[in-house]
Amino acid sequence: MSPFDVPTLYVVTTLVTLAAGAAFLLQTMLRRNDAAGRLWSVAFICSIFAAFASLIATSSDQNWWAFAIGNGFYVTGTGLIWAGARVANRRRSMLPVVVLAGVFVAIVRVMSGTDGVLHSGLATTYLGAGVFLALAAIEFASRDLRKVALGPFLAVALSLASAFYAARSVTSLAIGPDDPAYQALFGPATSSLLEIGAAVVGTLALSSIQSDRFKVSEQIDAEFGQRVAIDGVLQPLTFREVAESWLMRAIRERITLVMLMIDIADLDEVVIAFGRSAGDAAVRATGRVTLLHAPTSSVIGRLASQRFVMLMELPTTDSVEAIADNIRDAVLATQLDSRDRFQVAIFHGIATTRESGARYDDLLRAAADAVAVNAAEAHARADEHTI
């Protein structure tokens, strides 16, 4: 038996969840963020909404409808952990699947009506949360996230949480949520303790993972920046200054500017397999090809070891897609090694001031998100061919 009643347990859980979510959001506001980090931030926001909805629902039997909201947000939050991990691993986020799952769970709870106020319809919630947590565990144990210090640890933690929810779902259907055995194993005291622990561990682990992901990227960028210099390609700070000047002029003159972002695919694998000089050769070749195919009225910068970006006025002849295709084909045709042991591919993303606004950060974020989508689609096609 727990020394606290159900409403008190939900109050404590809500406060801890709110504190954990606020801590993660604050950390992402004070440092670099990306698409994966934004999805994880929204996951914490969903968990806060879910906790408040559950608190409202337990305050009165008349508020049973709040369980539907809470269940939907809870499953959506666990799904967003998976979606963010997929993006961090350069896959498509599958965000529509996450949203549809949350809506479905909420509808199931509404259709359950007022019978069994505390637990009715929760078997679907447990199942949905368990599935998403299992999928997230797979992502944290694979590809890029596997290389981050706490990636494997979080994969194990998510696997255990998934097993708990799977057992909870099966048990609730087998013996019913009012059975004393169910209450002892999966009742409010146990679930609240798990959710409090998950909020604390999740905040610390995801914050550390985000920090480590950027540290690795920054170390590689600094190392490449010292070794690889390409005439005509600006360094990040210089490019930003020039780009912001262009954007101010675009606002004044009502000009549409386009940002084309070019990422070298799997550059770290090239370095591991063929050495640092091979990675340098791939970066130099991509930068020179990008310069060669850039319109006259454009400016080019290198934002990271594997990332180039071009800002230009909206072309009147060749489309931006055609420019990107020409760069891709030329990079693939470039001999990077005297023994022709490897080639590199590129992913690109396009953003315009017409659609994304004329703020540098907004335009950069939109282009990066487009790169992530194209990369995920390319990896998905490659996975299909290997099946």
pLDDT over 80 at 127, yes or no: yes
pLDDT in tens, 35-90: 788 888 888 888 888 877 877 877 777 777 888 888 899 899 899 989 988 988 87
Confidence of residue 308 (pLDDT cuts 50, 70, 90): very high
Q: What is the rounded CA–CA span in Å between residue 348 and residue 153?
A: 33
The residue with greater pLDDT, 103 or 114, is: 103
Q: What is the pTM of this model?
A: 0.60
The residue with greater pLDDT, 318 or 267, is: 267
Class in CATH terms, 6-221: mainly alpha
The residue with greater pLDDT, 222 or 98, is: 98
pLDDT in tens, 219-238: 555 555 555 567 788 888 78
Q: Where in the chain are all domains bearing CATH 1.20.1070.10?
A: 6-221
Confidence of residue 30 (pLDDT cuts 50, 70, 90): low
The residue with greater pLDDT, 307 or 147, is: 307
Highest mean pLDDT pick, 45-59, 124-138, 198-212, 275-289: 124-138
Highest mean pLDDT pick, 21-30, 87-96, 98-107, 181-190: 98-107
The residue with greater pLDDT, 127 or 176, is: 127
Q: Where in the chain are all domains bearing CATH 3.30.70.270?
A: 229-386
pLDDT over 90 at 111, yes or no: no
- Which CATH superfamily does the domain covering 229-386 fall into? Reverse transcriptase/Diguanylate cyclase domain (3.30.70.270)
